[in-house]
Structure 1
Amino acid sequence: MSALANPRFRRLLVGQSLSTFGDSALYLSLGIWAKDLTGENAAAGMVFLCLSLPVVLTPFAGHIVDRLRRKPLLIAVNLVAGLGVLALLRVRSEADLWIIYAVALGYGLSFILIRPAQVGLVKQILSGEELAGANAAIRTVGEGIRLFSPLVGAAVYTAVGGHTLAVLDALTFAVAVVILLTLRVEEGAPTPPQEREPFRREIMAGFRQIASTPLVAFTTVAVAASFAVIGLLDTVDFAVIEYGLQRPASFFGVLMSVQGAGGICGGLVVATMIRRYGEARSVGAGLLTVALGTALLTTPFLPVVVAGFAMIGCGVPWLVVGYTTAWQRSTPQQILGRVAAAADLATVGPQTLSIALGAALIASVDYRILLAVCCAVLTLSGAVLLRRAPKLVTA
């Protein structure tokens, strides 16, 4: 990971990791907090709905990112988000539940701005050859954080309450702001208003860029098709635990830790894979690895299922980092925010729909049939991508 030799990237990674830790620790606890106030599972569900609703605004977020300098935008968003979290200090009773929802919605809005702005800033700091290592480092650190930060957040919430957790999260935003303030980046001026295209064309520029680049276009189709079934696993995993392994639902945490460990292992080698075999082959290998892991979940044997979760965890960084590096390398800086937004929408959109579909089907369809469908789509996508890989190169 040669990107880690760059002191500016290391500083940015530290700031982003601290912010991610605070976010991950808090957002799960917001759901617990909402349920504690009301006694209703629906209240907790509303928290996660508020977190995900801003996804529909992703193209507009990408447009905003491309019209402003990325570093000042990141400073402003982190500052506003940190101050917004402190609104949780006013939560005392069920009557204040709306504050939790408002903070969750604000979180969702900050996510769709921070992600494309960070992608642009990373490309500004590093050369094209270093991007795979940078994306691998970001993904690997993120997997490590997701292993334990929700547990830390829940423990802090249980021990000292949500108010203290909110203050700690606000501090992580403050640290991220300080690190960004000390980061030296020379950014070019955004496109002047008189040189911009009509608003509708501006909004769609990210999708046009993806469609015009063979590597990115073909990989996007394969990844989008795969995420259209990967979301099924969010529901099916619980059926695997209940009916396959005959374990309590709490065992889900153990399997997520296994998957997270697999994600760290996958993240450590993905940069080397991309350098040797290219983005398309790395994504294809990731899809086939996730497909094999999914197939292993159909068995009732614990060691086999554990291996399946580890393989899924390992394969996801290969497909995510490979895909991200493909569009990041081939995209001009001035439209990178909109391409990042379009790429995110191409994955998050199908995944969200498949989560809803899985929740609707799990009561009437055997979970092994859903796993078979998931495995088939992943295998087909990966195989087709590997076959086309020699003809696809980074622009």
Structure 2
Amino acid sequence: MSITRTLIDVRPLRTSPVFRRLLIGRTVSVLGSFMTMVTVMYQVWEMTHSTVWTGAVGLAQALPMIVFGLFAGSWADRGDRRRIFLYATVGQAAVSLLLAVQGFTGHVPVAGVLALVAAQSCCSAVAGPAAGVFVPRLLPKEQVAAGLALQQVTGQAMMLVGPALGGILLGRAGIGTCYLVDALSFGLSFYGAFGLPALPPAGEPSRAGLHGVLNGLRFLAGHRAIRGALVTDLAATVLSMPTSLFPLVNAERFGGGPRTLGLFLSVLAVGGIAASALSGTITRLGRPGPVMLCGAGLWGGALAAFGLVRDPWAGLVLLALAGAGDAVSVISRSTIVQTHTPDALLGRVTAAEQIVGQAGPHLGNLRGGVVAGWTSGTTALVSGGLLCLFAVLWVGARTPELRGGSVPGPSAGTMPLEPADVPVPDGP
């Protein structure tokens, strides 16, 4: 096999200047967002010295996604997705500027900081569903998986670099400057999307309010492949998310040193970057269903094994494998969602995917902490990994559309939709 077919497929960068600009803008914006994540945690801790308040940061980020996400997806399926994304990007930049102002002045109480975090999360809840149509509308269907892999590898790289860069900037320039850099990063994201053509839904627009949301949920419940993809992601995050357990396991088994803990937190991203960089074979394969199931199974199996090892180096290898499995699973899941959802429903389905991706890890960390409190860190890790494996096997056994190869489904934008009668491609 040629080495060029193993490396990440860069055809979208060569063939689509618009996608290239979007990717650059998205990458810089994600970098700024991870810097802000570290800055918010640092500021809230310095203001309160309370783990309850630092935990509330995650709640302020997740709740708007859960509460408003599907309604934002319905809005994206009624209007010009480009314009909606630009409005949301301006909103995100404005909130970051307000965070910068309070960071320089220091006169806002902690509840005010969390309110600003929640406001920015509301803007993200709107931007995500609108941006969810960009890749399948800009790229040929055979390049969609490659485009998603490019987004994945750049996002993972920024997850690795952003917190470290944020920490350095915090130490040298202060809280306000970090927020200001994030606000400026949205300028590139705005520029990347500004040159897009109008992107109204291809098909019958969504109905307003709850009716549109329910139509989207009806489609999700009836399309077995997409439903199975989202259930698989929920199983991987809710049942086996490990990060809340790392401090306990590090203290129990590896001496509690901060260096080891830092490596545990970083090596998941390293594994994800490596897998994404070598994703050319799987994105060209055209079989996202089996690849997703294998990736999620690798995630669960590697974490279960990590719960048993005593050697820190073996643990790092297993966490890198888990990160690789997660990256492969995410790329394949997004490919299933974006290539087999009608364009007129893609905003709502992308919103559901975004909610799963936001809420799942928070619930998973909560589950891990509760189980570890009742038993031990080892039990929480091993049981979570095994439960994830069983769930993946169950989804695969119940969903032949996933395990059979390429997932059948309608081409985006080709299926006319009646507002009160959403098609159910696969049956219940």
Q: Same fold (TM over 0.5)?
A: yes
What residue number does 1:102 align with?
Answer: 115
Residue equivalent to 1:354? 364
1:144 aligns with 2:154: no
CA drift at 1:95: 4.6
* Matched residue type, 2:183: A
Confirm or deny: 8 A CA contact 1:296 1:307 kept in the other structure: no
User: What is the distance in 1 between the residues matched to 2:134 and 2:406?
Assistant: 26
Greater shift in the superposed pair: 49-58 or 148-157:
49-58
Cα deviation code 1:248-299 (max 9, x no counterpart) = 2453222222221110111123353143261111111101211232133121
Q: Tell whether 2:197 aligns with 1:188.
A: no
1:124 match: 137
Q: Distance in 2 between matches of 1:368 and 1:273?
A: 33
User: Counterpart amino acid of 2:143?
Assistant: E
Alpha carbons of 1:196 and 1:279: their partners in 2 closer, same or farther (altered >3 Å)?
closer
Q: Gaps (5+ residues) in structure 2?
A: 1-8, 410-428
| Mean CA deviation greater in 48-57 or 242-251 | 242-251
Contact 1:222–1:385 (Cα < 8 Å) also in 2: yes
Q: Distance in 1 between matches of 2:356 and 2:59?
A: 19
The one-letter code matched in structure 2 to 1:172 is S
Q: Name the structure 2 match of 1:273.
A: 282
What count of residue pairs does the alignment treat as equivalent? 391
- Aligned partner of 1:393 in structure 2 is 407
Q: CA deviation at 1:117?
A: 1.4
Partner SS, residue 363 of structure 1:
helix
Instruction: Calculate the TM-score normalised by the size of structure 1.
Output: 0.91
Identity over aligned pairs, percent: 19
- Which residue number corresponds to residue 63 of structure 1? 74
Deviates more, 1:321-330 or 1:70-79: 70-79
CA contact (8 A) 2:18 2:196 kept: yes
For the residues of structure 2 that align with 1:258 and 1:111, how far apart are their CA atoms? 27
User: 1:356/1:257 Cα in 2 relative to 1: closer, same or farther (>3 Å)?
Assistant: closer
Secondary structure of the residue aligned to 1:331 is: coil
Please say if residues 292 and 332 of structure 2, whose CA atoms lie closer than 8 Å, have aligned partners that are also in contact.
yes
* Amino acid of the structure 1 residue aligned with 2:348: R
Shift of 1:229: 0.7
Displacement after TM superposition at 1:120 (Å): 0.9
CA contact (8 A) 1:287 1:381 kept: no
Paired with 2:395 and 2:280, the residues of 1 have a C-alpha distance of 19
Q: 1:153 aligns with which of 166, 181, 184?
A: 166
Offset of residue 205 of structure 1:
2.5
CA distance in 2, matches of 1:368, 1:379: 17
| Counterpart check, 1:80 vs 2:91 | yes
Pair 196,150 (structure 1): closer, same or farther in 2 beyond 3 Å: closer
Q: Deviations over 1:171-203 (max 9, x none)?
A: 11122212322x2324236878xx754743310
Provide the aligned C-alpha RMSD in A. 2.3
Q: TM-score, normalised by structure 2?
A: 0.85
* Distance in 2 of aligned mates of 1:335 and 1:166: 35
Is 2:265 the counterpart of 1:259? Answer: no
Task: Give the partner amino acid of 2:250.
Answer: I
Shift in CA distance, 75/197, structure 1 to aligned 2, threshold 3 Å = closer
CA offsets per residue over residues 202-257 of structure 1, 9 Å max, x none?
A: 102222222332322233333322322133x1222222211122232453222222
Decide which moves more: 145-154 or 115-124.
115-124
8 Å contact 1:132–1:271 — kept in the other structure? no
CA contact (8 A) 1:153 1:165 kept: yes
Higher mean Cα deviation, 136-145 or 336-345?
336-345
- 89-98 vs 355-364, which moves further: 89-98
Task: Compute the displacement of 1:52 (Å).
Answer: 1.8
**Pick aligned residue for 1:223 from 233, 236, 261:** 233
In terms of mean alpha carbon deviation, does 315-324 or 101-110 score higher? 101-110
**What secondary structure does 1:246 align onto?**
coil
> Does the CA contact (< 8 Å) of 1:35 and 1:44 recur in 2?
yes
* Distance apart, 1:26 and its partner CA: 1.0
What is the distance in 2 between the residues matched to 1:258 and 1:151?
A: 14
Q: Check whether the contact 1:77–1:114 (CA below 8 A) recurs between aligned residues.
A: yes
- Partner AA of 1:173 in structure 2: F
Q: 1:196 to 1:144 in 2, by over 3 A?
A: closer
Q: Deviations over 1:369-395 (max 9, x none)?
A: 222222212222334455641176231
Paired with 1:95 and 1:147, the residues of 2 have a C-alpha distance of 30
For residues 328 and 359 of structure 2, what CA distance do their matches in structure 1 show? 20
Letter in 2 for 1:73: I
Instruction: Output one character per residue of 1:85-106: Cα deviation in whole Å (capped at 9) or x when no partner.
Output: 1112134346543432122112
3-state SS of 1:362 partner: helix
Secondary structure of 2:245's counterpart equals: helix
> Do the aligned partners of residues 365 and 189 (structure 1) sit closer, same or farther apart at CA in structure 2, a change above 3 Å counting?
closer
Q: Structure 1 residues 206, 244: CA separation in 2 closer, same or farther (over 3 Å shift)?
A: farther
Q: Is the 8 A contact 2:238 2:367 kept in 1?
A: no
Question: Aligned in 2, Cα 1:277/1:77: closer, same or farther, shift over 3 Å?
Answer: closer
2:385 to 365, 375, 379: 375
- Cα distance in 1, alignment partners of residues 18 and 252 from structure 2: 49
The answer for the alignment partner of 1:304 in structure 2 is 314
More helix by share: 1
User: Which runs of structure 2 are paired with 1:160-239 in the superposition (5 Å)?
Assistant: 160-181=173-194, 183-188=195-200, 197=207, 199-231=209-241, 233-239=242-248
